Structure 1
Amino acid sequence: MEITDLTPAERRIRDAFPRGEGVDFREDPDEDAADGHGWGPERTVRADVLAALLLAGPTPNGQVAELNVRGARITGKLNLKYADVEHAIRLRGCWFERKPQLYGARLRAVSLSQSALPGLTASIVSVDLALRLSGCRFTGPVRLAGARIAGGLFLQDALIRPDAGARADADADAEEHDEPPLQLNHTEIGTDIVADGLTVHGQLRVNGATVAGQISLDRARLLAPGGIALHAETVSVGTDLRGHRLEAEGMVNLTGARVPGQLMLTRARLANPGGVALRASSCAIGELWLRRCPPIDGIVNLRRSQLDMLYAEPETWPAVVRTEGLGYRVLHPLLPAEQRLPLLEREETGYLPYAYEQLAAAYRTVGDEAAARSVQLAKLRRHRRTQPRHTRLWGLLQDVTVGYGFRPLRAAFWLLLLVLTGSLAYGLHHPRPLKPGEAPDFNPVFYTIDLLLPIIGFGQEEAFAPGGWYQWLSYLLIVTGWILATTTAAGVSRSLQRQ
């Protein structure tokens, strides 16, 4: 088209473009661009005119041209496919009749903040500075797969809600409503993705993305009930992935993610009833924070992930938690082992020895040896339930007598109880001497100890022989002594093997 064939509104933009000056069509600074379909011709601009200025507009020497427009009604399609644009594009608070086409373009800087658009096609786009979509209202998919942005991507308070009832886009295809509304897969971001307050009705896809800084989804709402709300497999960030007060309806899938700093899900609400709510398997994460979250509604899968620190209150975990191969160094908040152990019963595959060893190691890291022993004892008790019935009996004896070696004072308690019982019984009724006149003076305490301890002899057991039920009591004391000695030896051996 001829660039001279312009309306008054378009001439204002043409005249301001070479000098980089802004053109503001707004009647009210707080107006909503979503109402732009009703704006009149005095603020209507053809997309072809804007494309012509960007691709061949006049640029006087000594001045920096820039397309800087606010509050325009843009008709037609802004087509910059494969274009090489040297000028900044700022179309803020504008209403777009059709989704801009930026596929494969090389751009300097782009800001569409506070605008209303039927979608955005910008796959494989290259942006030298930043791409700003803050506060935008999209009624179609935003395609940024494979984008290369040297600066940051900004999506604060944006709304992406594909709506079949919205105005039709001539380029829309039949499958558009089935694709993810926000596609950031395989993007490369030079600094951060800032999407605080973002709302997506459908899936946010970030698979394979590389972000040099952080991804911030604080207060974001990702609404894909029954589906995948956040699909971020193998995403790699330079620092943190934040989701403070994140609301996710559907699965949060972080399989294979690399987050050297913090995966911050404090006060987040994760819900996928009947399915997996959080899948963070095979991840490498510095710190995983689930602090003060409401109970997660759905399965949590942390299998084969490696964490430096895990912060989660026991009440946060759902009924099923998959922890096979999960490794962590520190566990917060520091709670008694009895409050952490029920989580290990929620693994679908049953008894996992490694999970108990990992929890015990975490307690040892902070110097809580008593809690570590409690976890080891719980592990052996859990293991006992998996054994045949005849084997369980021996385990039960070790547990009752010495707590599998983790409760050595329990053996002393049993020994003291039996010594008191035998001393009282034989003190009231002395057994008869085997060789009258040669037997030493009878001592009920040392006689009982002689019966109980097979490796110690005070000469009492060989010198006296009880009768009647006292004889049966002596048999009981002898058998009990052997059981105590054997289980104690087994417990000591187990302790030495651990060390």
Structure 2
Amino acid sequence: MEINHLTAAEARVWRAFARGETVDFRESPDEDPADGGDWGAERTLRAGVLRALLLDGPRQDGEVPSLSVAGARITGRLDLQHATTDHPVRLRNCHFDEAPRCYAARLRELNLSESLLPGLVAHAVHVDGILRMTRTRFTGTVRLGGARIAGSLYLESAQVSAPGTEVPVLQLNQASVGADLSAPGLRTQGQIRLNGATVAGSLNLSDARLGNPEDAALDAQTLTVGGDMLLRHAEVHGWLGLRGARITGRLDLSYVLLSNPGGSALQASSTAVGELWLRKAPPMEGTLNLRRAQLDVLFLEPDSLPQEVLIGDLTYTSLVPHEPAERRLPMLERQRDGYVPHAYEQLTAAYRRVGDDHAARLVQLAKQRRHRNTLPWYGRLWGLVQDVTVGYGFRPMRAAGWLLSLLAIGSVAFALHHPQPLKAGEAPPFHPVFYTLDLLLPVISFGQEDAFAPSGGYQALAYVLVLTGWILATTVIAGVTRTVSRQ
């Protein structure tokens, strides 16, 4: 293409390209590219001219060519499919009439910041530097599936919406980002897809507003993040999907609003996360799914929990902040799967690691009580006896209290009415305390029980003491055995 065939605006850009200079068509820095449809020929560029510049533009000795334009209207489709260009592409504050097509292209750098585009088609694009779309507005889908970005991807305060489409509005599935994916303040109406994506650095979605009610707002199955994944102060309407994700650092959901009533709010089953932070946030509206997740640190404030959780086979090393067992147990009681013994064992282990044996015992007691509800009637009855008498072995002093109470009742009763000796003249002197102990303790004998025989109501009392003694002895042995086996 020769410069004689260009408009005045295009010729200006053509000459600036060889010197790497920026051409700024804006009349004021606060212009809105949404008004670009009314911009005249003095700031309109044909997409074909820009393509010719990038593929075979002029060179100037001692200069680094680059396409750097601000405040232009770009007509036609900028088609760079399968193209390779060594020149940075910076089209900022521009209005695009059609979505650029960069499928399988290889670019040095691409900057579309603060521009307005009806979409972007860039599957499998290779960017040797950074891809910057800060405060860019898209009114159609952004297709970056399989993209390879050597540097960072910037989407700060970008807006993506595609009314009427059923496909994800921001597609980054199988994409690879060599540094950070920075998107604080991102706004989307529709699904973000990050399935199988890899981010070598951190993924920042703090202050984002993601909306796709009753469906996936962010679907990031098998996502891999080398640093932290941040959603602080974000709002997510729809479910947040992280099944099978691997996040080396921190998954920070502090101050986040997760809302998907009637479905899952957070699907993080089978994830491996260094630290999961759920703090300073309102209760989730929907289900929390952490089945089979593996966490080093679970930073969970009870007030952030939803009414229903799925935590079967969840494993964690540390649980913070330190809360009384009474504050943690509701999490285990809200499990949709019902009684899950592993969840109680995990919470017990977390308390034991910090030396809170009292809380650990309370969790184990709650486990036995929950287990009792799953047994047939006779099992529930026997469990109730163990609970009332010795608290399943976690409250052994209860047995001593029962024994002392029964000892006092028997001693007083038999002191007021001595039972008759079985063989007159051969019986030892009667002692009401030791006689009652003989009835209560099935193993120890003081020679009183075999020498005297109560009658009437006192015989019934003796039977009650014998039966109660056996029950107490059995429950104490069962409780001690259970405690020793746990040790």
Amino acid across the alignment from 1:343: M
Matches within 5 A, 1:67-78: 67-78=67-78
Q: What is the alpha-carbon distance in structure 2 between the residues aligned to residue 382 and residue 284 of structure 1?
A: 29
Displacement of 1:369 in angstroms is: 1.4
Larger mean Cα displacement after TM superposition, 220-229 or 463-472 = 463-472
Q: What is the alpha-carbon distance in structure 1 between the residues aligned to residue 144 and residue 456 of structure 2?
A: 92
Larger mean Cα displacement after TM superposition, 414-423 or 433-442 = 433-442
Q: What is the alpha-carbon distance in structure 2 between the residues aligned to residue 44 and residue 491 of structure 1?
A: 85
Amino acid across the alignment from 1:198: L
SS of the aligned residue for 2:4 comes to coil
Is the CA contact (8 Å cut-off) linking 1:377 and 1:406 kept in structure 2? yes
Partner residue, 1:471: 459
State the Cα deviation string for residues 284-320 of structure 1 (Å, max 9, x = none).
1111111111111112211111111112222322222
Tell me, which stretches of 5 or more residues in structure 2 are unaligned?
none
Is the CA contact (8 Å cut-off) linking 2:77 and 2:99 kept in structure 1? yes
Partner residue, 1:36: 36
Match 2:440 to one of 452, 458, 476: 452
Match 1:266 to one of 237, 254, 257: 254
Partner residue, 1:10: 10
Partner residue, 1:363: 351
Is the CA contact (8 Å cut-off) linking 2:3 and 2:11 kept in structure 1? no
Partner residue, 1:132: 132
Amino acid across the alignment from 1:57: G
Amino acid across the alignment from 1:125: V
The normalised TM-score by structure 2 is 0.97
Partner residue, 2:103: 103
State the Cα deviation string for residues 446-498 of structure 1 (Å, max 9, x = none).
22212111222223323333332122111111111111111111111112222
SS of the aligned residue for 2:196 comes to coil
State the Cα deviation string for residues 91-130 of structure 1 (Å, max 9, x = none).
1111111111111111001111000111111111000000
Matches within 5 A, 1:163-174: 163=163
State the Cα deviation string for residues 175-214 of structure 1 (Å, max 9, x = none).
xx22111000000110010000000100000000011011
Is the CA contact (8 Å cut-off) linking 1:284 and 1:307 kept in structure 2? yes
Is the CA contact (8 Å cut-off) linking 1:248 and 1:269 kept in structure 2? yes
Partner residue, 1:222: 210
Is the CA contact (8 Å cut-off) linking 1:96 and 1:116 kept in structure 2? yes
Q: Does 1:497 align with 2:471?
A: no
Q: What is the alpha-carbon distance in structure 2 between the residues aligned to residue 137 and residue 294 of structure 1?
A: 30
Q: What is the alpha-carbon distance in structure 2 between the residues aligned to residue 28 and residue 429 of structure 1?
A: 109
Amino acid across the alignment from 1:16: A
Q: What is the alpha-carbon distance in structure 2 between the residues aligned to residue 157 and residue 186 of structure 1?
A: 23
Q: What is the alpha-carbon distance in structure 2 between the residues aligned to residue 25 and residue 70 of structure 1?
A: 6
| Residues 1:366 and 1:4: Cα distance change in structure 2 (over 3 Å) | farther
SS of the aligned residue for 1:447 comes to helix
State the Cα deviation string for residues 260-294 of structure 1 (Å, max 9, x = none).
11111111111111111111011111111111111
Is the CA contact (8 Å cut-off) linking 1:3 and 1:52 kept in structure 2? no
Displacement of 1:359 in angstroms is: 1.5
Q: What is the alpha-carbon distance in structure 2 between the residues aligned to residue 229 and residue 178 of structure 1?
A: 12
The normalised TM-score by structure 1 is 0.95
Amino acid across the alignment from 2:317: R
SS of the aligned residue for 1:178 comes to coil
State the Cα deviation string for residues 402-429 of structure 1 (Å, max 9, x = none).
1111111111111111111112222333
Partner residue, 2:416: 428
Q: Does 1:45 align with 2:33?
A: no
Partner residue, 1:283: 271
Partner residue, 1:56: 56
Partner residue, 1:91: 91
Matches within 5 A, 1:51-450: 51-163=51-163, 177-450=165-438
Displacement of 1:438 in angstroms is: 4.4
SS of the aligned residue for 1:58 comes to coil
Displacement of 1:437 in angstroms is: 4.7
Q: What is the alpha-carbon distance in structure 2 between the residues aligned to residue 306 and residue 279 of structure 1?
A: 14
Larger mean Cα displacement after TM superposition, 344-353 or 280-289 = 344-353
Amino acid across the alignment from 1:396: L
Displacement of 1:54 in angstroms is: 1.2
Q: What is the alpha-carbon distance in structure 1 between the residues aligned to residue 244 and residue 3 of structure 2?
A: 51
Is the CA contact (8 Å cut-off) linking 1:3 and 1:49 kept in structure 2? no
Q: What is the alpha-carbon distance in structure 2 between the residues aligned to residue 349 and residue 96 of structure 1?
A: 52
Q: What is the alpha-carbon distance in structure 2 between the residues aligned to residue 88 and residue 354 of structure 1?
A: 55
Displacement of 1:18 in angstroms is: 1.2
Larger mean Cα displacement after TM superposition, 300-309 or 106-115 = 300-309
Q: What is the alpha-carbon distance in structure 2 between the residues aligned to residue 424 and residue 260 of structure 1?
A: 69
Q: What is the alpha-carbon distance in structure 1 between the residues aligned to residue 478 and residue 229 of structure 2?
A: 48
State the Cα deviation string for residues 150-177 of structure 1 (Å, max 9, x = none).
000000000011146xxxxxxxxxxxx2
* Count of aligned residue pairs for this structure pair: 487
Q: What is the alpha-carbon distance in structure 1 between the residues aligned to residue 342 and residue 3 of structure 2?
A: 72
Tell me, which stretches of 5 or more residues in structure 1 are unaligned?
165-176
Displacement of 1:432 in angstroms is: 3.2
Larger mean Cα displacement after TM superposition, 134-143 or 412-421 = 412-421
Q: What is the alpha-carbon distance in structure 2 between the residues aligned to residue 368 and residue 35 of structure 1?
A: 64
